A and B are shown apart, each in its own frame.
Chain A
Amino acid sequence: MNYVTTTKQYAISFLHSDSFMPVMASVLLHAFILIIVGWGWESSLVTPRKVMPNYVEAKLVALKPTAPKKAAPKKIKKSVKKVDLAAQRHEQERLKQLQVKKQRQIAQKKKATEALKVKQLADKKAKALAVEKAHQLQEEQNRLAEQQILVEQQQQQAFADALAEEELLLQAELDAVAAQSFSGNIRNKVQSKWSRPPSARNGMKCLLKIQLIPTGEIIDVSVIKGSGNSAFDRSAEQAVKKAERFDLSGMESRIFEKYFRQFNLEFNPQDLRQ
Chain B
Amino acid sequence: MRLVCLFFLVLLANGARADLTIEITQGVDNPTVIAVVPFGWGGGALAENVSNIIAQDLQRSGQFRPIDQNDMLAFPHRQAEVFYRDWRALGTEYLLLGDMEMRNGRYQLTFEVYDVLAQKKVLRQSVDAGKGQLRDLAHYASDKVYELITGIRGAFSTKMVYVEALGGNKLYRLMLSDVDGARPRLLLESRQPLMSPSWSPDGREIVYVSFETGRPAIFRQEVATAKRVQLTNFKGLNSAPVWSPDGKKLALVLSKDGNPEVYTLDLATGSFTRVTRHYAIDTEPNWTADGKGIVFTSDRGGRPQIYKVTLASGHTERLTFEGDYNARPRVSPDGKTLVIVHRSNGVFHIATQDLATGDMRVLTETNLDESPSIAPNGAMLMYATKHQGKGILAAVSLDAGVKFRLPSKAGDVREPSWSPYF
Q: Do chains A and B touch in the complex (CB under 8 A)?
A: yes
By a beta-carbon cutoff of 8 Å, the part of chain A in contact with chain B is 46-48, 179, 183, 186-187, 190-200, 207, 209, 229-232, 234, 236-239, 241-242, 259-260, 262-271, 273-274
> Which residues of chain B have C-beta atoms less than 8 A from A262's C-beta?
19
Say yes or no: A187-B24 contact (C-beta < 8 A), given A195-B31, A274-B336.
yes
| Residue from A196, A230, A268 in contact with B23 in the complex, judged by beta carbons closer than 8 Å | A268
Q: Are B150 and A191 in contact (CB under 8 A)?
A: no
Q: Are B21 and A266 in contact (CB under 8 A)?
A: yes
Q: Indicate whether B115 reaches chain A with its CB closer than 8 angstroms.
A: yes
> Which residues of chain A have C-beta atoms less than 8 A from B400's C-beta?
198
6 A-B pairs with the lowest CB-CB distances in the bound complex, closest first: A199-B151, A231-B151, A194-B27, A241-B117, A264-B21, A263-B20
Q: Indicate whether B108 reaches chain A with its CB closer than 8 angstroms.
A: no
Q: Are B115 and A238 in contact (CB under 8 A)?
A: yes
> Which residues of chain A have C-beta atoms less than 8 A from B27's C-beta?
191, 194-196, 239, 269
> Which residues of chain B have C-beta atoms less than 8 A from A47's C-beta?
119
Q: Are B20 and A183 in contact (CB under 8 A)?
A: yes
Task: Provide a sorted-by-A list of 16 A–B residue pairs whose CB atoms are within 8 angstroms.
Answer: A183-B22, A191-B25, A198-B150, A199-B152, A231-B148, A234-B115, A234-B118, A234-B122, A241-B118, A263-B22, A264-B19, A264-B20, A264-B21, A266-B21, A274-B336, A274-B356
By a beta-carbon cutoff of 8 Å, the part of chain B in contact with chain A is 19-32, 63, 85, 93, 115, 117-119, 122, 148-152, 336, 354, 356, 379, 397, 399-400
| Residue from A187, A193, A231, A260 in contact with B28 in the complex, judged by beta carbons closer than 8 Å | A193
Say yes or no: A192-B356 contact (C-beta < 8 A), given A242-B117, A266-B23.
no
Interface contacts beyond A187-B22, A269-B27: sample of 18 additional A-B pairs, CB < 8 Å, sorted by A: A183-B22, A195-B31, A198-B151, A198-B399, A231-B149, A232-B151, A234-B122, A237-B118, A239-B27, A241-B117, A241-B118, A242-B117, A259-B20, A260-B20, A263-B22, A264-B22, A269-B26, A274-B356
Q: Are B24 and A196 in contact (CB under 8 A)?
A: no
CA distance A191 to B19 in the complex (A): 20
Q: Are A191 and B31 in contact (CB under 8 A)?
A: no
A-B contact count (CB 8 A): 108
| Residue from B25, B31, B118 in contact with A268 in the complex, judged by beta carbons closer than 8 Å | B25
CB distance from B396 to the nearest CB of A (A): 13
The SS class assigned to the B binding surface is: loop
> Which residues of chain B have C-beta atoms less than 8 A from A241's C-beta?
117-118
CA distance A26 to B400 in the complex (A): 63
Closest to A209 in B: B19
Q: Are B29 and A195 in contact (CB under 8 A)?
A: yes
Q: Are B63 and A198 in contact (CB under 8 A)?
A: yes
Q: Are B26 and A270 in contact (CB under 8 A)?
A: yes
| Residue from B21, B29, B122 in contact with A196 in the complex, judged by beta carbons closer than 8 Å | B29
Q: Are A192 and B28 in contact (CB under 8 A)?
A: yes
Q: Are A263 and B21 in contact (CB under 8 A)?
A: yes
CA distance A231 to B63 in the complex (A): 13
| Residue from A209, A239, A270 in contact with B25 in the complex, judged by beta carbons closer than 8 Å | A270
Q: Are B117 and A238 in contact (CB under 8 A)?
A: yes
CA distance A271 to B25 in the complex (A): 7
> Which residues of chain B have C-beta atoms less than 8 A from A209's C-beta?
19
Q: Are B118 and A269 in contact (CB under 8 A)?
A: no
Say yes or no: A46-B150 contact (C-beta < 8 A), given A198-B400, A263-B22, A266-B21.
no
Closest to B14 in A: A262
CA distance A46 to B148 in the complex (A): 25
> Which residues of chain A have C-beta atoms less than 8 A from B122's C-beta?
234
| Residue from B24, B118, B149, B354 in contact with A191 in the complex, judged by beta carbons closer than 8 Å | B24
CA distance A176 to B417 in the complex (A): 58
Q: Are A231 and B150 in contact (CB under 8 A)?
A: yes
Closest to B33 in A: A195
Q: Are A268 and B24 in contact (CB under 8 A)?
A: yes
Say yes or no: A198-B152 contact (C-beta < 8 A), given A262-B19, A263-B20.
yes
| Residue from B19, B28, B118, B336 in contact with A195 in the complex, judged by beta carbons closer than 8 Å | B28
Count chain B CB atoms within 10 A of each CB in A199, A207, A264 and give the residue with the most: A199
CB distance from B233 to the nearest CB of A (A): 44
| Residue from A192, A263, A269, A271 in contact with B19 in the complex, judged by beta carbons closer than 8 Å | A263
> Which residues of chain A have C-beta atoms less than 8 A from B397's C-beta?
198
| Residue from A199, A242, A266 in contact with B24 in the complex, judged by beta carbons closer than 8 Å | A266
CB distance from A244 to the nearest CB of B (A): 9
> Which residues of chain B have C-beta atoms less than 8 A from A270's C-beta?
25-26
